[in-house]
Amino acid sequence: MVHLFDSSALNSPLPDVIPELGARFEAAGYELSLVGGPVRDLFLGRVSPDLDFTTNARPDDIIRVIKGWADTFWEIGREFGTIGMRKDGYQVEVTTYRADAYDPDSRKPAVAFGDKLEDDLFRRDFTMNAMALRLPSMELVDPFGGARDLHAGMVRTPGAPSTSFSDDPLRMMRAARFASQLGVQVAPDVFEAMREMAGRIGIISAERVRDELTKLICGKAPWTGVDLLVESGLADHVLPEVSALRLEIDEHHRHKDVYQHSLTVLRQACELETGSDGPVPAPDFVLRFAALMHDVGKPATRRFEPNGSVSFLHHDGVGAKLTAKRMKALRFDNDTTKAVARLVELHMRFYGYGDAGWTDSAVRRYVNDAGPLLQRLHRLTRSDVTTRNRRKAERLAFAYDDLEQRIAALAEQEELAAIRPDLDGEQIMALLQIRPGPVVGRAYRFLLEERMENGPRSEAETAELLHAWWADQPENPIAGTGTIPDTTERESREQPEAAGPNEKDSKK
């Protein structure tokens, strides 16, 4: 299907780089078409900063056409027929028509260049991405009904789904990602192929799976994409901990469906994200993934109690370890892994506050343990309330409101965001007349504990506490006497080198 594209329907005009590049290729005697995601996005009323083009020109020809026009270009993808460039802030890739042949046991294609645009479109993942805009004539080429499927909100493949997924199994995860990002559904034959071929995802590298999963979680409706992964069986291979949440409901229905609860928590966490100027700008992967994974420790800790109840003792700690293990397997970076696992570990900390109340010391510990994750923890904890019991939900919300007010009130009096002892490492060594070493760290931790328990003190009061602690330490020559030793003469004889405090101790 070929017809002129009505650019007047766009919410914003096409970037100048698109017709300019089309004119250059036409003048050089080559075909050029905008293709794939950028064309799909035109139908969705948006223009991507990343523009993909396809052409019958070979890589050397592409370079000759764009030299002197592109701001810069690179040849990293030359082997696959791709030349990348940057022009007026847009990242552009121009790729020679492809007709790839795939090894069933490998994602790496044997590259074969093609000569026809339609053949290139046929090898693409889904019909909505198999549309092209010929340039500079602005003819829409849509041989597989991509515009129709996009309008219907349906994910279909240009050819047989089994062939498409055999060529590149990652396309199965991409279907779930589109469900999350675009709010579309997969066609029945596409879902059936996903279900039958889910195991083939195992040949895809962990890094590529991670990248698709990240995009899915950061989509408009990630719970939809996750559900598709689980129902198709893909999650059994990439997120088995989430699949395991579908605990069998026992005949007495003594506990709720943990899997559906987790999807609800994920949705509610998304709703609590803030705008770009807020403390948790959407989309926040760390908060969202922690919401999805927060209960993954429950299957391993589930116990049926004699009174008929079900317990999941320590599922928070177990879940944090399982989450970290899965994220490491998917090659997530250390900082992201630690942040998500920490939120999972802390998500139960609040419970009990409403019944027993917390001392100021407990509030300080809560803030200190959360550290920079506090705003995310607030949202995760609130999202974890999915009970239909209105009175219980209101009681928990009131209790958390009270906790946040307590945190705010203490923050006005103390530096809760960066709680430190009232003496630093240099001061500790000067007062105790000791050199850098493990004792300084122990003293620092002692003072930090005092700070947590009793709030800030004056420097004189803290020095007195420190001397009392030092009097009972085994390193003190007269430990247990309560007397502060005069070590000035000994230190003078040793003539220690000038040394700063242990950096890690003094900045905890």
Instruction: Please say if the pLDDT value at position 264 is more than 60.
Output: yes
CA 438 to chain centre: 37
Q: What residue ranges in 171-313 does DSSP mark as E strands?
A: 185-186, 303-304, 310-311
Residue 233 resides in a domain: no
Co-location of 468 and 406 in the same domain: no
Instruction: Please say if the pLDDT value at position 507 is more than 70.
Output: no
112-163 pLDDT, tens digit each: 788 899 999 999 999 999 999 999 999 999 999 999 999 999 999 999 999 9
Residue 374 resides in a domain: yes
Residue 462 resides in a domain: yes
Co-location of 129 and 257 in the same domain: no
pLDDT at 417: 53
Mean pLDDT of 360-372: 84
Residue 173 resides in a domain: no
Residue 174 resides in a domain: no
The residue from 366, 390, 413 where one domain ends is: 413
Co-location of 19 and 68 in the same domain: yes
DSSP annotation of 125 reads: S
More reliable by pLDDT, 324 or 451: 324
Strands 109-110 and 310-311: unpaired
d(C-alpha 95, C-alpha 354), whole Å: 60
Indicate the range of 42-56, 201-215, 222-236, 261-275 predicted with least confidence: 42-56
Instruction: Please say if the pLDDT value at position 324 is more than 90.
Output: yes
The residue from 100, 124, 152 where one domain ends is: 152
Co-location of 266 and 406 in the same domain: yes
459-506 pLDDT, tens digit each: 888 888 888 888 888 887 665 444 444 444 433 333 334 333 344 443
Co-location of 307 and 379 in the same domain: yes
Co-location of 82 and 119 in the same domain: yes
Co-location of 300 and 400 in the same domain: yes
Domain count for the chain:
3
Instruction: Please say if the pLDDT value at position 182 is more than 90.
Output: yes
d(C-alpha 323, C-alpha 325), whole Å: 5
- Residues 285-313, buried b or exposed e (16+ Cβ, 10 A)? bbbbbbbbbbbbbbbebeeeeeeeeeebe
pLDDT at 449: 78
Give the whole-number percent of the chain exceeding pLDDT 70.
84
Indicate the range of 283-287, 432-436, 454-458, 475-479 predicted with least confidence: 475-479
Co-location of 28 and 58 in the same domain: yes
Residue 182 resides in a domain: no
- 281: CATH: 1.10.3210
DSSP annotation of 274 reads: B
As a whole number, the mean pLDDT across the chain is 85
User: What SS3 class is residue 344?
Assistant: helix
Domain that holds residue 441: 425-506
Residue 56 resides in a domain: yes
Co-location of 388 and 447 in the same domain: no
Q: What residue ranges in 267-422 does DSSP mark as E strands?
A: 303-304, 310-311
d(C-alpha 21, C-alpha 32), whole Å: 8
pLDDT at 391: 84
Co-location of 285 and 363 in the same domain: yes
Residue 292 resides in a domain: yes
Co-location of 404 and 481 in the same domain: no
Co-location of 18 and 50 in the same domain: yes
The residue from 152, 187, 205 where one domain ends is: 152
The answer to whether the peptide bond before residue 136 is cis (omega within 30 degrees of 0) is yes
